[in-house]
Amino acid sequence: MKPKVVIIGGGNGGLLAAHRIADAADVTVLEAGIDPGDPVPARFLHEHGYPEHDWDYSDADTGAHLIRGKVLGGGSTVNAAAGSRGQPSGFDGWGPGWQWDDLLPAMRAIETDEQFGDRPYHGDAGPIHVTRLSQGPLDEAFFAACARAGHRECPDHNAPGTQGYGPWPTNRVDGGRWGALAAVAPLLRSRIQLRDRTMVRRVVMEGSRAVGVEIEGPDGAETLAADLVVVSCGTYGTPEVLWRSGIDAPQIGVGLQDHPWVMMNVQARDEADIFARPVSGSLLRAPVHDDPTDEFQVFPFSEWLYDHAAPRDSWSVSVALMQPVSRGSITRGADDRAVIRLRHLVEPSDLARMAVAVTRTAALIDDLAATGLVTVPGDAWWRSGDLEGELRRRVETYNHPVASCGMDRTVDRRLDVIGAGNLKIVDASIMPKIPDGGPNLVTMAIGWKAGGIILEDLGLQP
């Protein structure tokens, strides 16, 4: 008889782990949101912002809404499908078994890179298709400004050690979002039990060992027995499941990390220049000072695409700090709801480095404005005499939260919850340190690698 594995959460980590173990174990994936089905409805491939499929989190200090997908595929169903892995150096703090060279086989296994699949650091047979976005007129102008500023051209932002300007890598097929919902769920539905619209009340524990999951679904409440329970509810949701289950794992919610970013909005001369390529096709990655491991990102995009209340000619040139020192926290609130404090730029070094990144980006914007393609507002906040004060007021989230249940704090090197048996965590919360790319592809790679660990722990062959 196959061992029973229950995976709580159908996001990037959960679905990729399920994909790897599905033929060797009896797998059930529980998803609180809906399964939109196969083929995926067009809106889940092309649109942004689904308030009816969101967990409705907010930052306790600022009140800012924190987007998290309550739908099969999780974040990869609602995000912008950025496919940036980050630098190898960004994994140096991950420790034995989880550094760049350890994760690279998983990154290659999940990927089909449409331009560079023949390179040794890319994959050519995985379910997640990665391509490079084309450029519109404003992207091309942005590239030209980057070149004039001395930045190098970078055709593949996922090539190890590279920096400069080049097209965004993204998990898209035919212009549509190609995350875990579109790419992986169709490979799973006939091989596992997939139960959507199913909330998990708690993990059932006997002593210190997980033995099942208590759920509430369309057919009412029931308890599922399990030989292994995998929590894959994301950086905000996984602590909530542990708390509801009475699991007193060490340091839950400590060390929360996210990339801070700010938007520098300008006005396009002609909105047609924006909508020739409405999803940003251009990305600049550069060191803040001289250290190539301390990187900032700049990318322009159509603000209207994500917020239809914004003017259609608004073009946001956005800046993100990719190796922040500041740390936030998640604490236990009423009804075991996560109380989230991201605490961006609270460390003086983050504030100072973000100011440098914004100042360098302002020079690029001035260069673009000289071409006549964009107009800088007369009251542009980045021209303020109090730049650091403006940054404190305007900093936002890049929506890349990680590390609330980090390795060597809440889980061990094999992703077992410390102090609990038959219980693992497989999602972005286990990252020991934030990578300097987005967590999208990295979390998928964690899921794939975790699937191998699960097979080993259960004595199974894939």
What fold does the segment set 4-127+175-255+400-457 form as a domain?
Answer: FAD/NAD(P)-binding domain (3.50.50)
- 363 and 151 Cβ atoms separated by less than 8 Å: no
What is residue 331's three-state secondary structure?
strand
H or E segment to which residue 212 belongs: strand 209-217
Residues tagged in the binding site annotation for substrate: 398
Q: What is the pLDDT along the chain (462 residues), one digit of tens a residue?
A: 999 999 999 999 999 999 999 999 999 999 999 999 999 999 999 988 789 999 999 999 999 999 999 999 999 999 989 999 999 999 998 999 999 999 999 999 999 999 999 999 999 999 999 999 899 999 999 999 999 999 999 999 999 999 999 999 999 999 899 999 999 999 999 999 999 999 999 999 999 999 999 999 999 999 999 999 999 999 999 999 999 999 988 899 999 999 999 999 999 999 999 988 877 789 999 999 999 999 999 999 998 988 889 999 999 999 999 999 999 999 999 999 999 999 999 999 999 999 999 999 999 999 999 999 999 999 999 999 999 999 999 999 999 999 999 999 999 999 999 999 999 999 999 999 999 999 999 999 999 999 999 999 999 987
Q: Which helix (H) or strand (E) covers residue 164, if one does?
A: strand 164-167
In this structure, what DSSP letter does residue 430 have? G
What is the C-alpha to C-alpha distance for residues 52 and 69, in angstroms, rounded to an integer?
Answer: 9
Q: Which helix (H) or strand (E) holds 266?
A: strand 260-268
C-alpha–C-alpha distance, residues 143 and 282, integer Å: 7
Q: Which of 266, 275, 295, 299 is nearest to 366 (CA)?
A: 266
Planar angle of CA 228, 230, 234, nearest 5 degrees: 175
CATH of 134-167+260-321+345-394, one of 3.30.300.30, 3.30.70.260, 3.30.410.40, 3.40.630.10: 3.30.410.40
CA distance 424 to 419: 11
Torsion angle of C-alpha atoms 292, 293, 298, 299, degrees rounded to 10: 110
Give the closest residue to 412 by CA, choosing from 398, 401, 423: 423
Q: What is the pLDDT of residues 339-385, one digit of tens each?
A: 999 999 999 999 999 999 999 999 999 999 999 999 999 999 999 99
Q: Of the candidates 446, 452, 448, 350, which has an alpha carbon nearest to the alpha carbon of residue 403?
A: 446
DSSP state of 120: T
**Whole-prediction pTM value?**
0.97
Backbone angles phi, psi at 166, to 5 degrees: 180, 180
Q: What residue segments make up the domains of the chain, in order of their start?
A: 4-127+175-255+400-457, 134-167+260-321+345-394
Counting beta carbons within 10 angstroms of the beta carbon of residue 76, is it exposed (0 to 12), middle (13 to 18) or buried (19 or more)? buried
| Residue 314 contacts residue 106 (beta carbons within 8 Å) | no
- Asked whether the beta carbons of 210 and 204 are under 8 A apart, the reply is yes
Q: Provide the residue count of the chain.
A: 462
Both tokens assigned to 56: 């409705």
Q: Residues at the annotated binding site? A: 71, 200, 398
Bridge partners (DSSP) listed for residue 167: 282
Please state the residue numbers annotated as binding site for FAD.
71, 200
